[in-house]
Each structure stands twice: as structure tokens, then as C-alpha cells.
């Protein structure tokens, strides 16, 4: 075997190892400038292109891009992360460091609806712990978990800015104030 | 009593859009730009008005602006950023303004941009404020259509562009240099200062980051003049303040009142006093990064210059009330858990110290605490004091703890003596009833 073909073979092996590793731990192909077909939908791509226009450099739109794709796909999977990273021309690792920092970016699947229960001081005084307990009683789900039917994920959230109507919670994008535990079932009717 | 920022707000919370905003004098003063008012005049008026930052720091706005490089050699572009990352627990004043009167923020930003020759603005909005986002987006679109944005203002060469950035959570984004990193699409960790953002900020350019309520004050100063503006206040800081109350009071809510209104007046006249069956023990005057005030402080004017050093600072002016049915240790534990969770993790004292503090307080609540733990808590208030951490988060977290150790010390000691929380059953019952 000539020296040249040996190194070729080594290269192939390396690529194969790399392919496997990338499945396991998100080593991005993007960072090594290999081609990977971007799977953003036309709508997503259009929205991302609009977002980028607001910033002097593409990466400025990183958070907008994560939230936009999340709106369409529910959460940010490794594949979504690669799609966005490639669009923004940054590495997937770089983008993941952002995605994992911000709590409104979901790097794990969530239910069809997400309930954010405010646990900051004004809501604590007015009984947010009882609200959390009621959710657990009704839907058998703790903070950070999703119901087995995939209907609801429950997360804690920092002060929602509705302190005069504490305790407050937000389901998807709707804010509810003065949430007494006995009102919970009624509120949840809207979110199937 | 004048309420310039909120007098036109609809009581039902519905928004005022362009037609209504213009009908009540909105955008009118922009016509005086170029002819009567040069950028330096706007700067001067804001400086003379005594306006101080409403985000909690209370820094004089005119002074902040004076650090921005001006003139033909100044770097371009310069940026104006509205800090609408309102995540300070207990604080909801900016939301009221943005939801009710979104054009007020747009106009305030155009004026600040003109004064500082900054041609691009960003509204940095916390991700949870969906309604504000929707209404601000509509206001921005209307302002573009009317030519207030995106075109030179009549009689000038100044053109302003404005974008809305909806963020994705994390309290630390409210710190101005962390906010700048977030806006650049990075992790929101604070930057070293100096250089200050006024000279090296967003993408390395001169940048002014200003709280939302502060920016709403600017059109008022320009429309009505500095004498009028100063007279709105009862003290030497100019203008009104949106104060708020949450906790167990009869009538929690927000009110626009002269700066320098006292906590007693706010609590008794506007908040309707304490709710039935509970008594006042203390309050945090403006968000949770402020020190407790107790009965003896209730007659202090709530402003940025009247607090004696041992009382701390006003903060955001939206106060949280501690009542006698709520455990002060549990109260502070909730605050410290919040700070520990929201620490960005960048510097060690904050990342490691805050969870330690939360664990210590948890020991008090669970009856495991000893008097050594009390001294440990006290030491933390020194270890995490200003100067020991990269930004103000941890020192802010120590303000309520330190003052609680001072005013409610016997309650901490009682937890040790009886091996648990004296409030635990009672407060649980009370909470179900409320």
C-alpha cells in the first residue's frame, strides 16, 4: 500500500469516527466547513432572514433565530441547532452555549403547552406553592416535567411582572393573575 | 396632581396607538428639532431636568449622556438601547407603560437618539412580555409608516431606525453590559467596566442603555420644559415615579405620583393599608435587590437622593410588603434561591456563594441551623459585598439579607431555638385562605 493511499484510508476512518461522534455529542460538521444540507423550511428561512436584517452581523440574530425555529418545531433538537448554526455561520457549539444559557430556549422536548409558574417573592407570599401543588395533584407532574400524554410541561419562572395580581402564571403566551388553586382546572380547559 | 406618563392610559389596559397618541400631543415636539432644538439643547434640557434613571440605579441621565463622544470625529454608529428586561421581582411598572402607551417609548428613543446623534435603537424586551412585544411592534410599524422612523426628521439630517429584540429569559440580562452581550447574540454575562458602554458598548460602539420608564420621561421634559418637570417632584430629583405595591395589602397596584412620596402615604392612602388580619413588618422599596425598610422609615421620601446610607436605595420604586403572617426567613430564602438560580455563573463568589446562602437559609427553615450558621450568613454579606464580584447581582442579593439579619434577627434566632419555622403551619393555612 502506498503512503498516499494509506493516509487516504486513515482519512476515511477519521471521517467515519467523526460521523459517529457527531451523532453522540454534537460535534458539529459546521465548524469544519463540511457541507451539510440546511433543513430550514422556507418559512423559517424567510423569518430568519428578516431577523438578521436588524443586526450588523448575523450572529446578533442568534436568540431570535432559536426562538423562531422553536416556535415552529416546539423545541431545539440537535438537528435544529445545526440548521440554525449553519444559517448564522457560527459553530453549533457556540450556538449551544447560547441555547443552554437562556431558559426560554428548550433543548429538550416540551408538551403541547407550557405552564410557567411564577415563584418569585410576591407570588410566594400569595401562595404560588399551593398553585404548584394543585398542578401536581391534577396532572401528576412536577416542575420541570411533562405529563405522560404530552399535554403540559410545567416550569418555574422568574417574576412575570404581574405582582399586583399575584399569584401569576403564564400558559404559552397567556398570563393569568390571582390564580387560586381551585381555578386551575377551569384555566386549563383552554389548553388541550 | 399631574400624572404626565399615565394620565391618558386606558383604565381597561387597552393600548393607545398612533392616532390617539398624536391627538394628545405625541410626536409634536419632533417638529421643533432642527429649528429650535439642536441635539445639545435636548441634552441640556435632560440634564437640567434632574431626571435620574428609573431602572433602580438612579444615575443622573444627563451625566450619563455627557460621557457619549459627540461631534464629527465621534465613532459611528452610536446606539440607544431601551432596557425593557423587567425581571426584578415585584416590579411591573415598565409593562404598564409599554402595554398602554407603546408610542411613548418610540418617541423617547427618537429624542434620545437625536440628542446623542445615535442613529439606531433597540428595545430589549424580556421574552415573557408577549403583549408588550405585539403592541410595540405595531407602534414601530406605525412610526415607520408616518416617517418618524426610517426617514430624516423634517428640517434635520437625523434619521432613526428602531428594532425590537425579544429576549429569552435570565434576570442577568437586565445588567447593562450583560444586556449588550445578549443583544449581540451571546451568553448574557456582564463585561468588565471600564470601558463603559457610553464609549465602548454594543458591537464596540458608543451605547446608551436606558430603562424604559426613564425614556418615557424624555418627551415630557422636551414638551413641557424643565421648570415644569422639576415642579412635578417633591424633592430635588425631577419628575414623577411609577410606584407599586405587592404583597398582602388591601389594594395592590401601581400609581404615578410625585417623586418623594413617602412609603406611608403609598401604603395607607393608595394601597388601602394592610389586608385584613395581617400587620406590617417591613418592606423592600423597589424590587428585591434593595434593603428592608421598617416602621421607622415609612416617612422617608421615596426618591434617589433622600435615603440615608444605612437605608440603602429606592431601587425600582415598586415595593414588596412583608406582613406578620409571613416568615421573614422564608421570605429571604425565596429571594436568595432566586438570585442563586439567576446568577450567570461567570464569577466564583456569586456562583458558589449564593447557593451556599440559600442552603444556609434552608437549614433555618428546616430546623437544622445553629448559631454558627447565623455568623456564616453574616460573613457572606461581606464576602459578596460590592467590589468582590464582577457585577451587582450578588451585592444586590446581600442587601435584603443583611438588613433582614439586622431587623429580624430575633426571628432567625427563634428558628434555631425551636428547631424549625414558627410560621410553617400557620402560614400554610393562611396562604390557602388568601
Tens of pLDDT, residue by residue over B202-218, are 999 999 999 999 999 99
Contact B87 A102 (CB under 8 A): no
- Sheet containing strand A152-157, edge to edge, reads A152-157, A113-118, A169-171, A174-176
pLDDT of B431 over the 50 cut: no
Pick among A65, A94, A101, A162 to test the B interface (most B CBs inside 10 A) = A101
A84 pLDDT tier (thresholds 50, 70, 90): very high
Nearest residue of A to residue B134 by CA position? Answer: A173
Specify the number of domains making up chain A.
2
Stretch B99-115: mean pLDDT, rounded? 98
Is residue A11 in a domain? yes
Query: Is residue B340 predicted with pLDDT exceeding 50?
Result: yes
CB contact under 8 A, A59 and B187: no
Q: Are B38 and B129 in contact (CB under 8 A)?
A: no
B418 reaches A (C-beta below 8 A): no
Average pLDDT in chain B: 96
Across B58-82, average pLDDT: 97
Domains of chain B: 18-231 (3.40.50.11540), 247-323 (3.10.20.600), 328-433 (1.20.1440.230)
Cell 437618539, located at residue: B113
Would the CB atoms of B326 and A130 count as touching at under 8 Å?
no
Contacts (Cβ under 8 Å, ≥6 apart) of A50: none
Do both A74 and A128 map to the same domain?
no
Span A98-108, average pLDDT: 97
Residue B20 has pLDDT above 80, yes or no: yes
Structural domain including A165 reads 113-188
Do both A21 and A74 map to the same domain?
Answer: yes
Does A89 share its domain with A168? no
- In whole numbers, what is the pLDDT of chain A averaged over residues? 87
DSSP state of A111: -
Which whole-number Å values give the CA distances from B174 to A103, B12, B86, B203, B205, in the listed order? 15, 29, 7, 18, 19
d(CA B131, CA B13): 11
Task: Please indicate, yes or no, whether residues A79 and A33 belong to a single structural domain of this protein.
Answer: yes
One domain for residues A49 and A125:
no
B113 Cα to chain A: minimum distance (Å): 17
| A89 and A118 belong to one structural domain | no
Chain B partners within 8 Å of A57 (Cβ): 203
Condensed to tens digits (0 to 9), the pLDDT of residues B376-430 reads 999 999 999 999 999 999 999 999 999 999 999 999 999 999 999 999 875 454 4
Q: Using a CB-CB distance cutoff of 8 angstroms, which residues of chain A are in contact with residue B334?
A: 119-121, 124
A158 domain residue, yes or no: yes
Given A45, A77, A99, which residue is the final one in a domain?
A99
DSSP state string for B156-172: SS-B-EEEEEE----GG
At which of A67, A99, A131 does a domain end? Answer: A99
Do residues A117 and A95 share a domain?
no
- Contact: B334, A157; criterion CB under 8 Å: no
Domain assignment present for A24:
yes
Question: What confidence tier does B1 reach under pLDDT thresholds 50, 70, 90?
Answer: confident
For A158-168, give one letter per residue: b (16+ CB within 10 A) or e. Answer: bbbbbbbbbbb
What percent of chain B stands above pLDDT 90?
A: 97
Contact (Cβ atoms closer than 8 angstroms) between residue B165 and residue B140: no
Interface of B with A in 65-94 (CB under 8 A): 86-92, 94
User: Which CATH number covers residue A173?
Assistant: 3.40.30.10
- CB-based contacts of B308, cutoff 8 Å, min separation 6: none
Taking CA atoms, B184 is separated from A104, A151, A162, B393, in Å, by: 17, 35, 29, 21
CA atoms within 13 A on the CB side of B333: 17
Nearest CA in chain A to B252: A164
Do A79 and A149 belong to one domain? no
Contact flag A122-B89 (C-beta cutoff 8 Å): yes
Please say if the pLDDT value at position B434 is more than 90. Answer: no
Give CA–CA dist B238/B303, Å, rounded: 10
For β-strands B280-284 and B161-166, DSSP reports them as unpaired
Q: Provide the chain B residues 249-278 that lie in CB contact (below 8 A) with chain A.
A: 252-254
**Please, what's the largest Cα pairwise distance for chain B?**
74
Q: Is the pLDDT of residue B39 over 50?
A: yes
**Does A33 have pLDDT greater than 70?**
no
* B320: contact with A, CB 8 A cutoff: yes
Residue A61 lies in a domain: yes
Window B:358-417, CB contacts with A under 8 Å: none
The answer on A73 and A130 residing in a single domain is no
A102 vs B128: CB contact, 8 Å cut-off?
Answer: no
Q: Is the pLDDT of residue B45 over 50?
A: yes
Is A182 part of a structural domain of the chain?
Answer: yes
Does pLDDT of B229 surpass 90? yes
- Contact present, B258 and B236 (Cβ < 8 Å): no
Rounded Cα gap, residues A70 and A53, in angstroms: 20
Amino acid at each position: 500500500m502506498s503512503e498516499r493511499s494509506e493516509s487516504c484510508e486513515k482519512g476515511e476512518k477519521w471521517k467515519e469516527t467523526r460521523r459517529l461522534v457527531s451523532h453522540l455529542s454534537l460535534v458539529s460538521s459546521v465548524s469544519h466547513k463540511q457541507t451539510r444540507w440546511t433543513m430550514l423550511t422556507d418559512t423559517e428561512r424567510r423569518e430568519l432572514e428578516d431577523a438578521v436584517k436588524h443586526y450588523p452581523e448575523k450572529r446578533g440574530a442568534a436568540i431570535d433565530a432559536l426562538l423562531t425555529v422553536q416556535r415552529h418545531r416546539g423545541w431545539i433538537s440537535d438537528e435544529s441547532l445545526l440548521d440554525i448554526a449553519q444559517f448564522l455561520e457560527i459553530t453549533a457549539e457556540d450556538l449551544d452555549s447560547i441555547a443552554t444559557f437562556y431558559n426560554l430556549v428548550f433543548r429538550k422536548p416540551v408538551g403541547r403547552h407550557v405552564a410557567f409558574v411564577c415563584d418569585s417573592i410576591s407570588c410566594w407570599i400569595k401562595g404560588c406553592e399551593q398553585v404548584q401543588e394543585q398542578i401536581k395533584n391534577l396532572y401528576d407532574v412536577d416542575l420541570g416535567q411533562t405529563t405522560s400524554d404530552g399535554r403540559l410541561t410545567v416550569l418555574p419562572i422568574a417574576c412575570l411582572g404581574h405582582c399586583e395580581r399575584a399569584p401569576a402564571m403564564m400558559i404559552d403566551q397567556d398570563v393569568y393573575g390571582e390564580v387560586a388553586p381551585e381555578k386551575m382546572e377551569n384555566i386549563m380547559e383552554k389548553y388541550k | 396632581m399631574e400624572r404626565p406618563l399615565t394620565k391618558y392610559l386606558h383604565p381597561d389596559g387597552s393600548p393607545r396607538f398612533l392616532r390617539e397618541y398624536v391627538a394628545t400631543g405625541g410626536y409634536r415636539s419632533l417638529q421643533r428639532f432642527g429649528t429650535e432644538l439642536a441635539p445639545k439643547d435636548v441634552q441640556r434640557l435632560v440634564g437640567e431636568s434632574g431626571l435620574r434613571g428609573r431602572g433602580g440605579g438612579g444615575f443622573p441621565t444627563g451625566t450619563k449622556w455627557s460621557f457619549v463622544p459627540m461631534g464629527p470625529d465621534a465613532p459611528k454608529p452610536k446606539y440607544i438601547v431601551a432596557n425593557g428586561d423587567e425581571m426584578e421581582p415585584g416590579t411591573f411598572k415598565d409593562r404598564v407603560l409599554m402595554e398602554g402607551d407603546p408610542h411613548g417609548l418610540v418617541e423617547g428613543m427618537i429624542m434620545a437618539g437625536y440628542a446623542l446623534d445615535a442613529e439606531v435603537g433597540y428595545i430589549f424586551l424580556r421574552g415573557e412580555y408577549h403583549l408588550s412585544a405585539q403592541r410595540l411592534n405595531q407602534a414601530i410599524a406605525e412610526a415607520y409608516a408616518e416617517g418618524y422612523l426610517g426617514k430624516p426628521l423634517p428640517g434635520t439630517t437625523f434619521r432613526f431606525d428602531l428594532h425590537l429584540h425579544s429576549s429569552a429569559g435570565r434576570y442577568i440580562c437586565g445588567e447593562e453590559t450583560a444586556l449588550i452581550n445578549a443583544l449581540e447574540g451571546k451568553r448574557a454575562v456582564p463585561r468588565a467596566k471600564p470601558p463603559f458602554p457610553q464609549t465602548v458598548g454594543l458591537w464596540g460602539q458608543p451605547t446608551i442603555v436606558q430603562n424604559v420608564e426613564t425614556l418615557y420621561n424624555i418627551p415630557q421634559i422636551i414638551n413641557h420644559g424643565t421648570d415644569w418637570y422639576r415642579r412635578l417632584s417633591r424633592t430635588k430629583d425631577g419628575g414623577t415615579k411609577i410606584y407599586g405595591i405587592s404583597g398582602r395589602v388591601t389594594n395592590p397596584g401601581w400609581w404615578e405620583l410625585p417623586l418623594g412620596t413617602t412609603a406611608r402615604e403609598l401604603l395607607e392612602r393608595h394601597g388601602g393599608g394592610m389586608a385584613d388580619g395581617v400587620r406590617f413588618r417591613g418592606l423592600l422599596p423597589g424590587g428585591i435587590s434593595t434593603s428592608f425598610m421598617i416602621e421607622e422609615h415609612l416617612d422617608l421620601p421615596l426618591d434617589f437622593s433622600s435615603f440615608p446610607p444605612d437605608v440603602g436605595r429606592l431601587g425600582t420604586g415598586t415595593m414588596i410588603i412583608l406582613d406578620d403572617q409571613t416568615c421573614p426567613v422564608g421570605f429571604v430564602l425565596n429571594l436568595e434561591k432566586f438570585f442563586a438560580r439567576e446568577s450567570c455563573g461567570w464569577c466564583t463568589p456569586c456562583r458558589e456563594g449564593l447557593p451556599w446562602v440559600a442552603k444556609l437559609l434552608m437549614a433555618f427553615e428546616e430546623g437544622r441551623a445553629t448559631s454558627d450558621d447565623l455568623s456564616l450568613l453574616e460573613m457572606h454579606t461581606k464576602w459578596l459585598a460590592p467590589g468582590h464580584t464582577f457585577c451587582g447581582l450578588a451585592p444586590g442579593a446581600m442587601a435584603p439579607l443583611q438588613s433582614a439579619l439586622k431587623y429580624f434577627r430575633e426571628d432567625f434566632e427563634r428558628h434555631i431555638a425551636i428547631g424549625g419555622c414558627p410560621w410553617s403551619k400557620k402560614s400554610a393555612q393562611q396562604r390557602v385562605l388568601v
